[in-house]
């Protein structure tokens, strides 16, 4: 137990000190925390509940658009902002910026969560192939729609508010966003860690293993499925809002509803790390991100080809991921000490 | 004695196939009732109709004087009417204790209890019940690693964990080691007497059902052909014909 | 106003005809998906990518100076082998495993193929000119490119040929037997592995035909595969597995829907409309089935 606390403290210390240890990689590490959030929340559906969603990216894009729209719309006419491409005619004062940022971020979490709750009843009633393809459709439809709405810049996209002048340089900006990202990641992790220890976690696993049985035992599975999706949407939406601010530019299909990048990454990271475990998605995201940042350039344009190949290979040969492999190798570390005598024992009824 | 479950003139068709036709049966509170019939006679269909797996075409099914034929599965289960499956259904990747813990009825069941913690004392209860069905030593194994017969016992224990008022058992001794069968009969009688759970049992093993049930219904070709005490059923011409295929 | 009232019936005729011609193409792709779904119980998310790949074969014939219409002969042959080798390298590993793995594996193949095409063929939108001319109807008010008529006719011919092949040939019978009960077929001496490989190959070949027709009637682009997957999925679930007239009809229905949605919402929302229709159909079916207390599984 003590070991665990020390481990957590070390990680926390690393997270806090990272921007000073690796000042050149602040943005990269911030994005890494966002990726951890994405893969953790994908795992709520894909791993714990056994519902392969390709649609969580929808909440990411939604959060991104909502956050920036409110940040701008609270103080300036949004239509003119997007029409001018965020020209320097509108400048946020520091107070306006931070007010807008926090209000936007909260709405970016709440609105996708509400959307998830509303559509959840219809969508989560689907199973298997149907659910997977339906969510795939949702994610892409959302991107196509966003690309048609003039108010948020249609296919051209929009800029998110720039860092206000007069309160420090870009260094401060990246540190600010770094800590928000880190905080979001820590909060997501702790929330899910707690949630999995409650009835919620056990019911999700029951749904994964046999949903019909869970219903026959009187569990209102739909309630848990929707709650799970709302939780995912909440954190993914917030991550989206943050990401939009960090990169400063929102494009419907490339950054917001980025099915080809983040949408794929979140699935791959969770499986790579080990779906259905708490630490798996975290490890998967970190490993994937380091690999991506470190070796991406060696692929000379073949990156996304390699990505596709990686998915196929991981899914076919390594479906249980890193955590699953560790579990197989060191079962005692996972509290799975199986007494051979117990395993072979004959059942007796006297 | 008042009937806890009353099935009245239930019809169920699958396309042109008559799975159940005009079936009426009463199950009395606290009794053990058997349901027999050759393969394909509509026993499992009737079970499915009762617990709400599919809607019935005509008739009514009342559980404790409440019409249940239009309710969804989890609601019926929450009323205290549970079933086990012929092909076992358990949560394969969870261990036995977790299988049991998730099967218990939560103290509160509303939107806010989604994140409620699972009480610690449930683990004790789970262990006791696993002991009751002889699976205590297997409690830390993954349920999916158990043999078919052991899964069957686990499923029974899971149903008991939920403290139902009535339990529908679909072939509880199928696939179970014959040396255990007497033990199971003994356990089922205990469940009935000590826990006060009404049992409706589908069973092909005549020895089991005759020594277990106080009353037996016999189905053939989707119709109810006989009902009564085991002795009476044993000697009923129509039942014998249905099983042996007389003209 | 007068003009609009005068135009609406003509627009409707135009849209319906366009839609029906387009729909036969969709139906051909959906037929392949239904075949492969029914036999192997795998939903191939890379279906659309196979279509586009088939299209590029016709396009490169066009670039090489051969008339792209011959693509309908060359492309299925090449695509059959691509499909077959895809099965032998990847798909056979996922056939009997759980849903999760087959969905994600084909999803991975889809990305892999997209990116390969993007890398090799470039990300430009390309068209293979067929120079088939145009047919005018109703006093030049309705225009139909001959290429589309050609495409629809070829689709119908291939569909009919395939149906006959499935009925008459030994392999066709083996495929149908495997679809009904793979285990029983195996016990009775059907080599299910090669049946699966052939099925996947035939599916890819159908995609190849459809792709080369798309190359001459519409446009090609490495990333437009997914809508074809979704369209064929939609057609199959509306029609049901093994219902060929249903596949043809719902394919045409989808084509007409798309043409009309183009007129009503604008072309920029076309893909969005297709995906939204998918979601609506699935959710509608889910509620319809849950009234019967069944699940869409």
Give one DSSP letter per residue of A283-320, joined into a string: HHHHHHHHHHHHHGGGGTT-HHHHHHHHHHHHHHH-TT
CB C102 within 8 A of CB A132: no
Gap between the Cα atoms of B100 and B139, Å rounded: 10
- N-term to C-term CA, chain A: 40
As a whole number of Å, the CA-based R_g of chain B is: 18
Q: How far is CA C197 from the centre of its chain?
A: 19
Any A CB within 8 A of B87 CB: no
* Mean pLDDT across C93-115: 87
For Cα atoms C264, C266, C271, give the angle at the middle one, nearest 5 degrees: 110
- Structure pTM? 0.90
Q: Among residues of chain B, what percentage have pLDDT more than 70?
A: 98
CB B227 within 8 A of CB B215: yes
Among partner residues A210, A215, A227, which is closest to B114 by beta-carbon distance? A227
Any B CB within 8 A of C293 CB: yes
The pairing of beta strand B215-220 with beta strand B198-202: unpaired
* Optimal mutation site among A48, A208, A209, interface B, most CBs of chain B within 10 A: A209
> What local confidence, expressed as pLDDT, does residue C297 receive?
40
Q: Compute the Cα dihedral for C69, C74, C77, C78 and give only its sign.
A: negative
Q: Model confidence at C4, in pLDDT bands (50, 70, 90)?
A: low
Any C CB within 8 A of B55 CB: yes
Instruction: Say yes or no to pLDDT of C237 above 80.
Output: yes
What are the pLDDT digits (tens) for C172-207?
888 888 888 888 888 888 888 889 999 999 999 999
Packing angle of the helix pair C192-217, C146-168 (nearest 10 deg): 170
Instruction: Say yes or no to pLDDT of A79 above 90.
Output: no
Partners of residue A220 in chain B, C-beta under 8 Å: 74, 109
* Mean pLDDT across A265-281: 91
Any A CB within 8 A of C92 CB: no
Are B114 and A199 within 8 A, CB to CB? yes
- N-term to C-term CA, chain B: 38
Q: Which residue of C has its CA nearest to A260?
A: C111
Q: What are phi and psi of B64, to 5 degrees?
A: 50, 50
Any A CB within 8 A of C280 CB: no
Are C292 and B52 within 8 A, CB to CB? no
Are C294 and B73 within 8 A, CB to CB? no
Show the tokens assigned to B233.
């059923």
Which residue's structure tokens are 């909060």?
A: A187
User: C181: which DSSP letter?
Assistant: -
* Mean pLDDT across A58-66: 93
Distances (CA, A) of C167 to A237, C58, C156: 53, 29, 17
Residues 6+ apart with CB under 8 A from B24: B7, B8, B9, B10, B224
CATH number at residue C216: 1.10.3470
Gap between the Cα atoms of A189 and B85, Å rounded: 38
Any A CB within 8 A of C123 CB: no
Q: Compute the Cα dihedral for A192, A198, A204, A210 and give only its sign.
A: positive
Any A CB within 8 A of B175 CB: no
Question: What is the length of chain C?
Answer: 297
For chain A, the chains sharing at least 3 beta-carbon pairs closer than 8 angstroms are: B, C
Q: Model confidence at A336, in pLDDT bands (50, 70, 90)?
A: low
Query: What residues does B169 pair with on adjacent strands?
Result: B201
Between the ranges A9-18, B44-53, C9-18, C78-87, where is the mean pLDDT highest?
C78-87
Can you list the alpha helix ranges (DSSP code H) found in C41-169?
47-63, 71-89, 99-121, 146-168
Beta-carbon neighbour count of residue B151 at 10 Å? 23
What is the residue-averaged pLDDT of chain C?
A: 86
For Cα atoms B103, B195, B209, give the angle at the middle one, nearest 5 degrees: 95
Number of helices (H) and strands (E) in chain C: give both, helices first: 11, 2
Q: How far is CA C3 from the centre of its chain?
A: 37
Are A202 and B162 within 8 A, CB to CB? no
Gap between the Cα atoms of B154 and B141, Å rounded: 12
**Helix, strand, coil content of chain B in percent (nearest 5):** 40, 25, 35
- Provide the domain count of chain C: 1
> What local confidence, expressed as pLDDT, does residue C296 receive?
43
> What local confidence, expressed as pLDDT, does residue A90 receive?
75
Partners of residue B153 in chain A, C-beta under 8 Å: 347
User: C41: which DSSP letter?
Assistant: -
Instruction: Say yes or no to pLDDT of A343 above 80.
Output: no
Query: What residues does B198 pair with on adjacent strands?
Result: B166
Any A CB within 8 A of B102 CB: yes
Distances (CA, A) of B151 to A206, B95, B155, C249: 15, 12, 6, 47
CB C61 within 8 A of CB C269: no
Q: Among residues of chain C, what percentage have pLDDT more than 90?
A: 29
> What local confidence, expressed as pLDDT, does residue C1 receive?
44
CB A56 within 8 A of CB A42: yes
What are the pLDDT digits (tens) for B131-158?
988 888 888 888 888 888 888 889 999 9
Residues 6+ apart with CB under 8 A from B173: B181, B184, B203, B205, B208
ipTM of the complex model: 0.89
Question: What is the length of chain A?
Answer: 350
The pairing of beta strand B58-63 with beta strand B3-14: antiparallel
The pairing of beta strand C134-137 with beta strand B81-83: unpaired
CB A349 within 8 A of CB B184: yes
Show the tokens assigned to A165.
């002048």
Residues 6+ apart with CB under 8 A from C132: C69, C145, C146, C147, C150, C216
Are A198 and B183 within 8 A, CB to CB? no
Gap between the Cα atoms of A305 and A287, Å rounded: 19
CB A72 within 8 A of CB A78: yes
Are A195 and B115 within 8 A, CB to CB? yes
* Optimal mutation site among B55, B57, B77, B144, interface C, most CBs of chain C within 10 A: B55
Partners of residue A208 in chain B, C-beta under 8 Å: 93
Give me the domain span that covers residue C253.
Answer: 4-296
Domain segments of chain A: what residues?
A: 28-265
What are the pLDDT digits (tens) for A114-143?
999 999 988 998 888 889 889 988 988 888
Instruction: Say yes or no to pLDDT of B240 above 90.
Output: no
Secondary structure element (H or E) that encloses residue B22, with its range: strand B17-28
Any C CB within 8 A of B12 CB: no
Q: How far is CA A305 from the centre of its chain?
A: 23
Residues 6+ apart with CB under 8 A from B83: A216, B47, B50, B51, B159, B167, B168, B169, B170
CB C34 within 8 A of CB C175: no
Q: Which residue of C has its CA nearest to B54?
A: C293
Gap between the Cα atoms of C34 and C23, Å rounded: 16
**DSSP E strands, C132-212:** 134-137, 142-145
What are the pLDDT digits (tens) for A155-174?
788 888 888 877 777 788 88
* 3-state helix/strand/coil string of A53-95: CCCCHHHHHHHHHHHHHHHHHCCCCHHHHHHCCCCCCCCCCHH
* Mean pLDDT across A231-236: 95
Query: What residues does B10 pair with on adjacent strands?
Result: B23
> What local confidence, expressed as pLDDT, does residue C139 receive?
67
**Order of strands, edge to edge, in the sheet holding B166-170?**
B81-83, B166-170, B198-202, B32-36, B215-220, B223-228
Instruction: Measure C163 CA to nearest chain A CA, in Å.
Output: 26
């Amino acid at each position: 137990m003590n070991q665990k606390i020390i481990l957590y403290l070390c990680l926390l210390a690393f997270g806090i000190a990272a921007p000073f240890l690796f000042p050149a990689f602040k943005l990269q590490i911030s994005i890494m925390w966002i990726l951890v959030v994405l893969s953790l929340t994908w795992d709520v559906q894909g791993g714990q509940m056994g519902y392969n969603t390709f649609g969580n990216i929808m909440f990411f894009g939604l959060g991104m658009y909502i956050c920036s729209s409110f940040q701008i719309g609270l103080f300036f006419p949004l239509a003119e902002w997007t029409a001018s491409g965020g020209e320097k005619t509108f400048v946020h004062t520091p107070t306006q910026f931070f007010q807008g940022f926090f209000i936007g971020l909260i709405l970016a979490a709440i609105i996708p969560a509400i959307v998830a709750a509303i559509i959840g009843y219809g969508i989560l009633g689907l199973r298997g192939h149907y659910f997977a393809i339906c969510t795939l459709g949702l994610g892409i439809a959302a991107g196509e729609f966003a690309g048609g709405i003039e108010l948020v810049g249609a296919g051209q996209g929009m800029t998110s508010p720039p860092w206000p002048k007069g309160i420090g340089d870009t260094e401060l900006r990246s540190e600010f966003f770094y800590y928000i990202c880190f905080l979001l990641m820590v909060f997501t992790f702790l929330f899910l860690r707690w949630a999995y220890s409650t009835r919620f976690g056990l019911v999700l696993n029951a749904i994964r293993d046999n949903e019909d049985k869970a219903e026959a035992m009187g569990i209102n599975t739909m309630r848990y499925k929707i709650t799970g999706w709302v939780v995912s949407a909440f954190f993914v939406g917030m991550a989206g809002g943050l990401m939009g601010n960090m990169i400063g530019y929102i494009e419907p299909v490339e950054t917001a509803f980025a099915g080809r990048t983040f949408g794929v990454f979140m699935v791959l990271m969770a499986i790579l790390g080990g779906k259905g475990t708490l630490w798996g998605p975290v490890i998967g995201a970190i490993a994937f991100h380091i690999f991506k940042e470190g070796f991406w350039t060696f692929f000379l344009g073949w990156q996304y080809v390699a990505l596709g190949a990686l998915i196929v290979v991981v899914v076919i040969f390594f479906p249980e991921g890193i955590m699953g492999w560790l579990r197989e190798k060191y079962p005692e570390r996972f509290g799975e000490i199986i007494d051979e005598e117990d395993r072979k024992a004959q059942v007796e009824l006297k | 004695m008042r009937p806890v479950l009353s099935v009245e003139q239930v019809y169920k068709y699958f396309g042109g196939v008559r799975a159940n036709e005009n079936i009426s049966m009463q199950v009395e509170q606290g009794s053990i009732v058997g349901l027999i019939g050759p393969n394909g006679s509509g026993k499992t269909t009737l079970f499915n109709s009762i617990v709400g797996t599919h809607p019935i075409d005509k008739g009514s099914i009342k559980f404790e004087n409440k019409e249940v034929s239009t309710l969804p599965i989890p609601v019926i289960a929450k009323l205290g009417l549970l079933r086990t499956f012929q092909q076992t259904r358990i949560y394969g990747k969870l261990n036995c204790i977790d299988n049991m813990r998730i099967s218990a009825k939560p103290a509160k069941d509303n939107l806010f209890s989604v994140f409620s913690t699972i009480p610690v004392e449930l683990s004790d209860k789970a262990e006791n019940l696993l002991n009751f069905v002889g699976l205590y030593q297997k409690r830390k194994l993954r349920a999916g690693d158990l043999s078919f017969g052991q899964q069957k016992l686990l499923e029974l224990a899971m149903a008991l964990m939920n403290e139902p008022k009535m339990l529908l058992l679909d072939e509880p001794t199928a696939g179970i080691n014959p040396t255990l069968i007497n033990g199971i009969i003994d356990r089922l009688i205990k469940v009935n007497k000590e826990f006060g759970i009404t049992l409706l049992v589908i069973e092909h093993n005549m020895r089991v059902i005759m020594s277990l049930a106080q009353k037996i219904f016999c189905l053939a070709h989707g119709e109810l052909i006989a009902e009564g005490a085991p002795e009476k059923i044993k000697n009923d011409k129509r039942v014998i014909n249905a099983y042996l295929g007389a003209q | 106003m007068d003009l609009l009232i005068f135009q609406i019936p003509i627009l409707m005729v135009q849209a319906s005809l366009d839609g029906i011609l387009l729909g036969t193409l969709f139906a051909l792709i959906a037929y392949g998906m239904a075949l492969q779904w029914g036999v192997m119980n795998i939903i191939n998310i890379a279906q659309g990518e196979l279509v586009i790949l088939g299209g590029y074969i016709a396009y490169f014939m066009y670039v090489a100076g051969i008339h792209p219409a011959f693509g309908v002969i060359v492309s299925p042959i090449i695509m059959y082998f691509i499909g077959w080798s895809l099965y032998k390298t990847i798909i056979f590993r996922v056939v009997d495993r759980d849903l999760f793995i087959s969905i994600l594996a084909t999803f991975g193949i889809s990305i892999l193929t997209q990116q390969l095409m993007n890398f090799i063929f470039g990300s430009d939108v390309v068209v293979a000119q067929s120079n088939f001319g145009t047919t005018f109807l109703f006093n030049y008010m309705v225009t139909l490119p001959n290429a589309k008529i050609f495409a629809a006719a070829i689709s119908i011919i291939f569909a009919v040929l395939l149906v006959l092949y499935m009925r008459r040939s030994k392999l066709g019978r083996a495929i149908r037997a495997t679809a009904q009960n793979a285990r029983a077929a195996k016990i009775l001496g059907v080599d299910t592995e090669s049946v699966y490989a052939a099925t996947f190959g035939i599916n890819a070949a159908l995609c190849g035909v459809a792709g080369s027709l798309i190359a001459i009637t519409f446009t090609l682009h490495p990333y437009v595969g997914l809508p074809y997957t979704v369209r064929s999925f939609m057609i199959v679930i509306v029609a049901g597995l093994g219902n060929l007239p249903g596949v043809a009809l719902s394919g045409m229905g989808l084509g007409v829907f798309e043409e009309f949605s183009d007129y009503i919402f604008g072309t920029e929302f076309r893909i969005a409309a297709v995906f939204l229709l998918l979601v609506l159909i699935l959710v509608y079916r889910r509620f319809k089935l849950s009234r019967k207390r069944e699940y869409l599984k």
